[in-house]
Amino acid sequence: MKVLRIGAILILLSVLLVIAGGAFGGRGGMQIALLIAVVLNFTSYFFSDKIALASSGAQPVTREQLPRLYQVMEGLAAKANIPVPKLYVVPDAAPNAFATGRSPSHASVAVTQGLLQIMNDDELEGVIAHELSHVRNYDILTSSIAATIAGAVTYMAQMGRWAMLFGGFGGNRDDDRGGGGFSALLMIFLAPFAALLLQLFLSRTREYAADETGVRMVGHPQGLINALEKLGAYNRRIPTTAISPSTSSLCIVKPLFGAGTLSSLFSTHPPLEDRIAALKQMTVTPLR
């Protein structure tokens, strides 16, 4: 059921992109939008992990450099029955972690220096289990595709606004019979908002699912609960200096950028209080 729901959201986003292209540019715009969707999905599939790691300045680490991290990662990967991902450290005092990669065999997990400094072994295990859950469930691939398509819809709407301002809005479209211009005008404002809502719903659903799967991987929720409480406290005080806004949706908690944050209504992450409450009420069942 979860797989069908995720697939439906990705299909809706792709359809929205094509419809937006049709509204802004007629049949030609629809064909261009379809081509954009194919190219962007291809790019996300093969290069989203490299982009996320490079943009955050993540550096690969060996077992000799961080034996504690490797020990936790190898034990949990064995429980999850997936290959051990490549491990990276981000030079950032703000504690956080993210996973990236298109599949379990092409996955990487990055943690910040700040996270390694403040987490005890149980808390670190909870964080890593959460990230390995994203890997196991192919969440990074689906989230990257959703974010890419949503961004394309927003970009297309911005182009439509510029075209409208300069008088080139749909003037040669074959379906321009009075209603076409109005429908395109609606799409300019509604399409980006609809794409954002679909992306946020998918991202929030995946965070709850990763929390649940991570707890089942470890066998108890307390380590992840304590880790989320620490992350919430520290990330309200320490702005990130390395993780970019484009990568923030991959993180276990939303980083603090500068002096402020976006409203929780439009955050890619559910409120930490809600995640912690769900974990406290969770009945732990074995991971299969």
218 and 76 in contact (C-beta within 8 Å)?
yes
- What are the angstrom distances between the C-alpha of 50 and each of 55, 146, 208? 8, 17, 25
Place of tokens 């209603």: 179
Angle, CA 196 vertex, CA 44 and CA 173 arms, to 5° = 85
Kindly write down the DSSP assignment for every residue of 164-232, as one continuous string.
HHTT-SSTT-TT-SSHHHHHHHHHHHHHHHHHHHHHHHHHHHHHHHHHHHHHHHHS-SHHHHHHHHHHH
Give the side-chain half-sphere CA count within 13 A for 39: 7
Main-chain phi, psi angles of 88, to 5 degrees? -135, 155
Place of tokens 């404002």: 189
Report the run of H or E that residue 277 belongs to, with start and end. Answer: helix 272-280
105 and 55 in contact (C-beta within 8 Å)?
no
Chain-centroid distance, C-alpha 186:
27
Instruction: Report which of 126, 106, 100 is spatially closest to residue 217, judged by C-alpha positions.
Output: 126
Q: Is 131 a catalytic residue?
A: yes
Annotated catalytic residue, options 64, 74, 125, 131: 131
Place of tokens 């990236």: 100
> DSSP character for 237?
T
Residues annotated as catalytic (active site), given as ranges: 131
